[in-house]
Amino acid sequence: MKRVIAMKVTVYGAGNQKLYTDELNLPERYGGEAPYGGSRMAMEFAMAGHDVILAEPSREFLDDEQWSMVEEAGVTVTDNDKEAASEAEVAVLFTPFGKGTFSIAREILPELPEGSVIANTCTVSPVVLYYVLEKELKLERTDVGVSSMHPAAVPGTPQHGHYVIGGRPTAELDMATDEQVSRCAELAESTGKKAYIVPADVTSAVADMGSLVTAVALAGVLDYYYVGTQIIKAPEEMVEKQILMTLQTMASLVETSGVDGMAAAINPELLVKSARSMHLLDEQEELDAALKKISDLNDDVMKWIEGAEVNHTDLVAAQALTGELKTVIGDRAAEGTIRRCMRKMFE
Amino acid sequence: MKRVIAMKVTVYGAGNQKLYTDELNLPERYGGEAPYGGSRMAMEFAMAGHDVILAEPSREFLDDEQWSMVEEAGVTVTDNDKEAASEAEVAVLFTPFGKGTFSIAREILPELPEGSVIANTCTVSPVVLYYVLEKELKLERTDVGVSSMHPAAVPGTPQHGHYVIGGRPTAELDMATDEQVSRCAELAESTGKKAYIVPADVTSAVADMGSLVTAVALAGVLDYYYVGTQIIKAPEEMVEKQILMTLQTMASLVETSGVDGMAAAINPELLVKSARSMHLLDEQEELDAALKKISDLNDDVMKWIEGAEVNHTDLVAAQALTGELKTVIGDRAAEGTIRRCMRKMFE
């Protein structure tokens, strides 16, 4: 067994247990028991031998019995975010979606010890978190890193067997040192869970709720790649271009016209007929299931799609465009534009 | 029954029957009989009462018996592309992929009669065809339009029950008049097939081979949209952003790093674990099938993925970026850049 070196860890946000048990009905749907969320993460870190603080100003998020469980696991509870930051080698943000998380991050950054790493969970993209703090990270706190400790499931449920850790991003932003990334991975693994290190800007696609779409689309892409290159024997490059084109077309139509507008433009009835011709193997189960699903849309869904508007869309290869932009206005000026368009996608 | 007004139609390209029967094994795989492809389209147009020319310089693409079938259907066969254009109210390009099609299109454009419409099939995007001819279409031949008569299946197989017609594009290019689009739709319907009018720049995503990917991804998107908004009750806007983000991330990773690089970045093993948490309904068959498929990748595929490199990628919302580009360098200058990046996607 790997020897665990105790770390000082602060978890921000305990998780609203009423939401988990009453509204989302987790005990019945997934199993496990309250407290779920940030408080469960804190308990698991403490039980792995770390020195853990849970910062939560909303006392009502847990009932008295649940708070006792947290403390019995060895977690120190506080309502003071700033104080909780002062020794945190890892500061995990299990905080609300959007601005709430930004203001906590801004508040604690000056208080963090030398070399600390801030890790998001499911409520914000690590890239957006980095951009929100970028000025301070580049001037005053060059020692602090940004990574992820994304549970990709609700902590406290049996599904939570892994963490997604934000590694070196594909866009070469200087978000965290290798040591800071490894520190997050070690913290995750010390709880007996598996740590997956993924480029920081890709974590959202594989760890947030939308991972359903990523998984289904990946199955379709791999199926088509095989059929296209091995059965139809089309050139690899052509098959890859087609994959880029279909995914980019769908993404851009959703961006300008919503899911209903995208579906209206691509016309499910037609799509079933076209895609059926690509059924060339005995086993293309994801295609069978997809064709069945989109052949069988109920009247409400069809009305919603048929009533949608398709807005102006410039269908372009996005990476070709970022490349052209850098050539036309220069790398430095392009950087600002690219950042704004990245935030439009992740925020 | 709708009264059919006879049109003058020229089909360019008969289709290589050896490829269809010997290599692709269509009679066994799909049914139907040779001649398949452009020659079958020409036969069907002629049998619907139109005045049809089939232009094909490669006599060896059909055997003698097949050529007789074409002529018995009432089609005039020629090897002279230019002459075949002179009366064509609709000129259908069932011509080779890429440059072959461009040079035929350029050669016949000056010969076409007033108000003619050029229609692509599966070998070129109508948008690319438009851009290739744009100078002439904007100066000398403002009367000629560009649309599609995309069979979205191999003509001659029982699967070919419809045509995809290129309508007004989402990018507001002035490609064809409403009458020219209707003319293509009427030609399609006169053969007893259904005509689907789709924005010209969207036809590739729903009619080419990659429609397999579009169909499977659409099933995933609609599933997640329902689960996200109705079961998890997340705000619609947030669910839509997640869909944009997942599709855009995959598209851009394929663009910079290929299918293997994309799969390496998103990590199939991790993805299965994350997406499984989104199984919240009894019936999510496309998700079940996708999870099964990507859990079960064989060793060769896993080696291919694990050996892949993930290259620099700037993950941005593409439509936000085209918008910024127009603001920064002006609509006119942006137009040229957008056009190049559109061709990079469709060509």
What are the tens digits of pLDDT across the range B280-300?
898 999 999 999 999 999 999
Yes or no, beta carbons of B211 and A246 under 8 Å apart: yes
Q: Name the token pair of B52.
A: 């049809």
- Alpha carbon distance B273, A33 (integer Å): 20
Q: What is the pLDDT of residue B99?
A: 86
According to DSSP, the residues that pair with B209 across neighbouring strands are none
List chain A residues with pLDDT less than 50.
1
Residues B243, A313: C-beta atoms closer than 8 Å: no
B251 in contact with A, Cβ within 8 Å:
yes
**In this complex, is the C-beta atom of B308 within 8 Å of any C-beta atom belonging to chain A?**
no
Give the total residue count for chain A.
347
ipTM of the complex as predicted: 0.93
- Select from A224, A238, A345 the Cβ nearest to the Cβ of B316: A345
- Give me the pLDDT at residue B2, please: 54
Radius of gyration of chain A (CA): 23
CA dihedral (A86, A87, A88, A89) positive or negative: positive
Q: Is B266:A211 a contact under the CB 8 Å cutoff?
A: no
Alpha helices in B109-166 (DSSP H): 126-139
Cβ within 8 Å, pair A345-B202: no
Q: Which of A131, A314, A332, A346 to mutate to test the interface with B (most CBs of B within 10 A)?
A: A314
B-chain CB neighbours of A24 within 8 Å are: 232
Dist. CA B263–CA B270, nearest whole Å: 11
Which residues 6+ apart lie within 8 Å of B248 measured at CB?
Answer: A247, A248, A251, A252, A255, A318, A345, B315, B316, B317, B318
Given a cut of 70, whether residue B339 has pLDDT beyond it is yes
Q: Is B223 on the interface with A (CB under 8 A)?
A: yes
How high is the pLDDT of residue A5? 83
Does A341 contact B at CB distance below 8 Å? yes
Contact A146, A108 (CB under 8 A): no
Supply B224's token pair.
């997640």
With H, G, I as helix, E, B as strand and everything else as coil, classify residue A258: helix
Please tell us whether the domain made up of A211-315 is placed in CATH 1.10.599.10.
no
Question: How do the domains of chain B map onto residue ranges?
Answer: 8-207, 211-315
Q: Do A313 and B170 touch (CB under 8 A)?
A: yes
Instruction: Looking at the complex, report in whole angstroms how far the Cα of residue A98 sits from the nearest Cα belonging to chain B.
Output: 11
| Contact partners, residue A63, CB within 8 Å, separation at least 6 | A17
Q: Which pLDDT does position A98 carry in this prediction?
A: 78
Phi/psi at A183 (5° precision): -60, -45
- A291–B289 C-beta distance less than 8 A: no
Separation between Cα atoms, residue B27 and residue B19, nearest integer Å: 12
- Show the tokens assigned to A337: 């534009």
Identify any residues that bridge with A165 across adjacent strands, giving them in sequence order. Answer: A197
How far apart, in whole angstroms, are the C-alpha atoms of residue A277 and residue B160? Answer: 9
Q: Which amino acid is at A341?
A: C
Choosing among B214, B226, B287, which should be mutated to test the A contact, i.e. which has the most A CBs within 10 A?
A: B214
State the DSSP string of B205-221. HHHSTTHHHHHHHHHHH
Which residues in chain A (37-66) have CB-CB distances under 8 A to chain B? Answer: none
Quote the pLDDT of residue B4.
67
> Residues of B numbered 252-271 whose beta carbons fall under 8 angstroms of chain A's beta carbons: which are they?
252-256, 258-259, 262-263, 265-271
CB proximity A123 to B under 8 Å: no
Q: In terms of DSSP bridges, do strands B117-120 and B90-93 run parallel, antiparallel, or are they unpaired?
A: parallel
How far, in Å, CA of B51 to CA of B55, rounded? 13
Interface test with B, best of A225, A246, A312 (most B CBs within 10 A): A246
What's the mean per-residue pLDDT of chain B? 95
Is pLDDT at B265 greater than 50 in this prediction?
Answer: yes
Of B241, B301, B314, the CB nearest to A171: B314
Residue-level pLDDT at A1: 44
**Residue A23: predicted pLDDT:** 84
CATH superfamily of A8-207: NAD(P)-binding Rossmann-like Domain (3.40.50.720)
Q: Does the beta-carbon distance from B214 to A287 stay under 8 Å? A: no
Share of residues in chain B with pLDDT > 90 (%): 88
Q: Check residue B72 and give its pLDDT.
A: 98
Residue type, A303: K
Cβ <8 Å between A219 and B293: yes
Facing residues of B9 across strands? B52, B90
- Cα–Cα distance for residue pair B212/A276, rounded to 1 Å: 8
> Of B25, B247, B324, B329, which to mutate for an interface test with A (greatest number of A Cβ within 10 Å)?
B247
Q: Is residue B1 less than 8 Å (CB to CB) from chain A?
A: no
Distances (CA, A) of A147 to A9, A121, A163, A164: 14, 9, 12, 10
Q: Is B278 on the interface with A (CB under 8 A)?
A: yes
What pLDDT does residue B1 have?
A: 44
User: pLDDT at position B65, please?
Assistant: 97
